[in-house]
Amino acid sequence: MGSQEACGSLTLQHHMLEPVQRVPRYEMLLKDYLKKLPQDDPDRRDAEKSLDIIAMAATHSNSAIRKSENLKKLLEIYEMLGEEEDIVNASNEFIKEGHILKLAARNTSAMERYLFLFNNMLLYCVPKFSLGGAKYTVRTRIGIEGMKVLETINEDYPHTFQVSGKERTLELQVSSEQDKDNWIKAFKETIEIFHQKNETFKSASKDVEEVSTAELGKRAPRWIRDKEVTMCMKCKEPFNALTRRRHHCRACGYVVCWKCSDNKVALEYDSNKINKVCKDCYSILTGEEKAEGKKKGILEIEAAQFSGSSIICGFLQHCEKNKPWGKVWCVIPEKEALVLYLYGAPQDVKAQSSIPLLGYSVEDSPRPADPPASFRLSQSKSVHSFVAESEELKQRWLKVIRVAVTGEVPESQMPNDATASATDAQETSSDST
């Protein structure tokens, strides 16, 4: 479509950018409006709420765009590899690609190769010189776990470095010193981030130090991190980016929705200033009677409670039937050693689902389309697929599950000083509302 005067001399593509650009523009206008709005203006509270919502929408939009672009890139690579490599996965993130030369073991020649670096693996490929179809064939898939990269000095071949993984060690050559530095930097950053997120069996939930009823409002609580919950810790409704955002109770530190935090009370530790608190803390601090709670259902045991006394727990990717893959916090508690509980995050107060392991069949033989470190639990028509973050973690899970499916209680795989495998929960930022 050509640009027309009636369309402001802009193409269709330019007009399609307008909705995306409008969200941050609204955010800037609201910030400017609030700077000029008096503190005691009756519109100020609504304006602040509007800014919070539009800021969250902008963040959500940017995040969705990044995820979409990454998925698009994964699909492109999937097609370049002849649609034979299972790389289109929500947990995969593309980092870097490029032509490279592989030095032969006997130093007689250098062969043309192509690399695809992801957050969790390196695909070492051979170019295919064909007119259509796949452009590359994967020669080796090398996991980032345990990978090392270092510069090498080779008199016959300049600009070389070595990548050493569990599956294979490669000596590679690039066209310039700058290109070599860029590759080494990309590898080192990827390896560092991978190990930060995948330290084995460290405390994820770090037992929450709760404020006692006697100290409530008198001592500042330890805040639960935003990323440790996917649902309100009071009403158990799932959070979302716009209509049910995360807020913190200033008395107990729990993450709750706006409905459950729509109470304010003076807190002694904050110089008796009025602070937002959850409905339970409000009841205790004001002396109002709490409504009798209903008996907890089978899924309504807090993840942190189970994780602190579990046989094994940690993050796994999970897929059931034809549903999409999702990252879940899995726990096999000591009290119910034959049940696998699936939570959205380490501090969730309700499980998404549970799997009674007795009678399930365990399959860990790799299938062509399966990602690395995967295994399956099947019983009749029910099939649950899981992917661990490493082969070592997979074997730890299988050691427990293979005993549980027989009806016997497995031995604990938790070290004495840890309650869970590593979490990528990040420090929460303060609520502005």
Q: Alpha-carbon distance 166 to 169, whole Å?
A: 8
Given this model, what pLDDT does residue 295 score? Answer: 53
Q: How confident is the model at residue 59 (pLDDT cuts 50, 70, 90)?
A: confident
Does 411 reside within a domain? no
Buried b (16+ CB within 10 A) or exposed e, 177-199: eeebeebbebbeebbeebeeebe
First-to-final CA distance of the chain: 45
Continuous segment of H or E residues that includes residue 148: strand 148-152
Given this model, what pLDDT does residue 316 score? Answer: 94
Inform me whether the pLDDT recorded for 207 exceeds 70: no
**What is the percent of the chain where pLDDT is above 90?**
24
**Residue 120 sits in the same domain as residue 173:** yes
Q: How confident is the model at residue 153 (pLDDT cuts 50, 70, 90)?
A: confident
Q: Which residue has the higher pLDDT, 185 or 21?
A: 185
Pairing status of strand 361-363 against strand 374-379 = antiparallel
Given this model, what pLDDT does residue 85 score? Answer: 81
Does 112 reside within a domain? yes
**Residue 90 sits in the same domain as residue 70:** no
**Residue 182 sits in the same domain as residue 151:** yes
Amino acid letter, residue 306: F
Mean pLDDT rounded to a whole number for the chain: 81
Q: What pTM does this model have? A: 0.40
Residue 348 makes CB contacts below 8 A (sequence gap 6+) with 228, 229, 230, 231, 302, 303, 329
**Residue 15 sits in the same domain as residue 95:** no
Task: Report pLDDT digits (tens) over 234-257.
Answer: 888 888 777 788 999 999 989 999
Does 347 reside within a domain? yes
Q: Which residue has the higher pLDDT, 301 or 13?
A: 301
**Residue 190 sits in the same domain as residue 131:** yes
Does 30 reside within a domain? yes
**What residues form DSSP beta bridges with 127?**
136
Asked if 177 contacts 161 with a C-beta cutoff of 8 angstroms, the reply is no
Does 270 reside within a domain? no
> Which DSSP string do the residues of 100-158 spell out, in sequence order?
EEEEPTTSS-EEEEEEEEESSEEEEEEE---SSS-SEEEEEEEESTT-EEEEE--SSSS
How many domains does the chain fold into? 3
Q: Alpha-carbon distance 231 to 429, whole Å?
A: 17
**Residue 14 sits in the same domain as residue 107:** no
Range in 3-17, 118-132, 364-378 the model is least confident about: 3-17
Q: Extract the tokens encoding 396.
A: 């730890």
**Residue 48 sits in the same domain as residue 143:** no
Task: Report pLDDT digits (tens) over 76-85.
Answer: 998 888 887 8
Averaged pLDDT, 350-357? 88
Does 191 reside within a domain? yes
**What residues form DSSP beta bridges with 160?**
152, 173
Inform me whether the pLDDT recorded for 375 exceeds 90: yes
Q: Alpha-carbon distance 166 to 120, whole Å?
A: 13
Distances from the Cα of 143 to the Cαs of 168, 237, 267, 389, in angstroms?
10, 38, 51, 10
Ramachandran sector of residue 260 (left: φ over 0; alpha: ψ -120 to 50; beta: rest): alpha
**Residue 67 sits in the same domain as residue 166:** no
**Residue 321 sits in the same domain as residue 383:** yes
Averaged pLDDT, 133-149? 88
- Domain holding 155, by residue range, is 81-197
Does 222 reside within a domain? no
Given this model, what pLDDT does residue 94 score? Answer: 93
Averaged pLDDT, 314-342? 88
Given this model, what pLDDT does residue 384 score? Answer: 92
**What is the percent of the chain where pLDDT is above 70?**
83
Edge-to-edge order in the sheet of strand 353-356? 353-356, 339-343, 326-333, 310-320, 382-387, 374-379, 361-363
Amino acid letter, residue 62: N
Averaged pLDDT, 28-45? 87
User: Residue 249: how many CB atoms within 10 A of its CB?
Assistant: 25
Q: What CATH number does the domain containing 334 carry? A: 2.30.29.30
Given this model, what pLDDT does residue 205 score? Answer: 39
Does 150 reside within a domain? yes
Asked if 373 contacts 166 with a C-beta cutoff of 8 angstroms, the reply is no
Given this model, what pLDDT does residue 109 score? Answer: 74
Q: How confident is the model at residue 386 (pLDDT cuts 50, 70, 90)?
A: very high
Inform me whether the pLDDT recorded for 201 exceeds 60: no
**Residue 179 sits in the same domain as residue 153:** yes
Range in 74-88, 89-103, 187-201 the model is least confident about: 187-201
Range in 62-76, 171-185, 240-254 the model is least confident about: 62-76
**Residue 92 sits in the same domain as residue 193:** yes
SS3 category, 61: helix
**Residue 20 sits in the same domain as residue 60:** yes
Q: Alpha-carbon distance 390 to 143, whole Å?
A: 9
